[in-house]
Copies of this chain bind each other. A is one copy, B any other.
Amino acid sequence: MSFSTEQKFWNLLKEQSSYEEAIGLMAWDMRTKAPKKGVENRSEVIGVLSQKVHEIQTCNEIKLYIDELKKTASDPKLIAALREAEETYHRTNKIPTQLYKEFVTLQTTAESKWAEAKENNDFESFQPYLEELVRYNREFAELWGYEDHIYDALLHNYEPGVTVKQLDQVFPKVRDELAALLTKIQESEVSPDPAILQGHFPKHLQEAFSEEILKRMSYDFDAGRLDETIHPFAIGLNTNDVRVTTKYDERDFRTAVFGTIHEGGHALYEQNIDPDLSFTPLATGTSMGIHESQSLFWENFIARSREFWENHYSLFQSHAPDRFKQVSFDDFFLAVNEVKPSLIRIEADELTYCLHIMVRYELEKALINGEIEVKQLPELWNEKMKTYLGVVPDSDSTGVLQDIHWAGGDFGYFPSYALGYMYAAQFDSAMRKDVNVSAAVRSGDFQLIKNWLSNRIHQYGKMKKPLDILEEVTGEGLNPNDLVNYLRNKYKHIYRF
């Protein structure tokens, strides 16, 4: 039996995708179910399969197929698959194997040094490792290449097509407008009382509520599962097996409710990718930022809206301690939308969250550009926190050391979180031209919303690049106004300014 070049190309991608699905299941298993003693062996197995993925991505064979097929390809799926495979081939091959191995070793060491440093509030002990990580990232960026800014080469890993130039046109506006909104909120006489949200929330009731909301979001339980974990995530193994995980805090229902809806938003993306893209690199979300737009859209634009709770508060009450029967809807809604500057990014409300990202973006860009040095980070971090959020960490542990990203060698990742907010707001504005979102949310029927997202975004997987999707769906490029307007309109009502 002899295969055409195109068939051989698809076969290689299928083999790669099969390893990735197996790795995905092993990763899910390790984070949900796996017995602890088996983890060491399992990690080695993941290592072996990851090596196979790497071999396919960088082999001469795939380069030959790509070069031959590119000449005549006309089918959009083939063209997109060739584009993705070629880009991966080039970027991966540009990093010498030895250099990459050194970097992986450094990552592992740096993560454990970071954990110690965070524990002991000792930035200095971590500083040399972070300096090395910055150095490797700069070296990778030079090898990958860029047009304007060295940092663009790193951004490309998470948000292909987005550049410093673009970010610097929109992020300062987001930053300044949100900081101004925050000031107004802090001057307001309205003061939410989060203490009313406290209570004992039995796990099984939280689980039932989470499942019910996922079902209403059109999450397909025949093509997924909901499990418990420590650090929640969603994972698409294939379009018909997309799993959500969540965490139940029996003292704070918000962790599971908003967390499940957030991960559910990621999962809806992966469940609704065109199955025809299966077994290719196209069968996943197109970028970190677009993925985040889907989770944030459901978590904030839907599940923190007045309409959502108008419909769901009674369902929530039936899954909460009796005392919630005495908590009025208005007090409850106000409390779950409290805006309050805080030190920790992952605990931030939807308004201040982007300000945390701005601190990180500005610092890591300057680091990679060589404008600042690692040793200046703690001081600069605290200055920016004071300027944008009005709070100053009392230790580096709750300041510059709080996130694992830099310790893992990830630079260029943070902007995707803020881009996710901006994309979500732009999609929300576009959707409201087609769909009566308020009425749909109030009625608890999310089908129209989910279909709108699936038709315009989900189904394409990686067929389209993030900014192309944005342009096609909203008719424009990155625009900070939708996010700023959404937040202003929402919090103007809540905080009455």
Contact = CB atoms under 8 A, between A and B. Distances in A.
A162 to B, nearest CB: 32
Interface string A187-219: 000000000000000000000000000000000
Given A25-B29, A26-B22, A240 B40 contact: yes
Interface stretch (A44-52, A433-441, A479-487): A44-52
Given A29-B25, A48-B14, A49-B18, A41 B225 contact: no
**For the complex formed by this chain, how many copies does it contain in all?**
2
Interface residues of A, number: 36
A18 B38 contact: no
A241 B21 contact: no
A41 B220 contact: no
A304 B438 CA distance: 64
Contact of A45 (B22, B38, B40, B223): B22
A364 B25 CA distance: 40
Contact of A241 (B34, B221, B238): B34
A35 interface: yes
A192 to B, nearest CB: 39
B29 A45 contact: no
B41 A278 contact: yes
Closest 10 CB pairs of A and B: A38-B241, A18-B48, A37-B240, A41-B238, A22-B22, A37-B223, A38-B240, A18-B45, A21-B45, A37-B222
Best-buried of A14, A25, A34 by chain B (most CB within 10 Å): A25
A36 B222 contact: yes
Interface string A244-263: 00000000000000000000
Given A22-B22, A44-B279, A45-B22, A238 B15 contact: no
Contacts of A241: 34-35, 37-38, 41-42
A21 B35 contact: no
A397 B277 CA distance: 43
A237 interface: yes
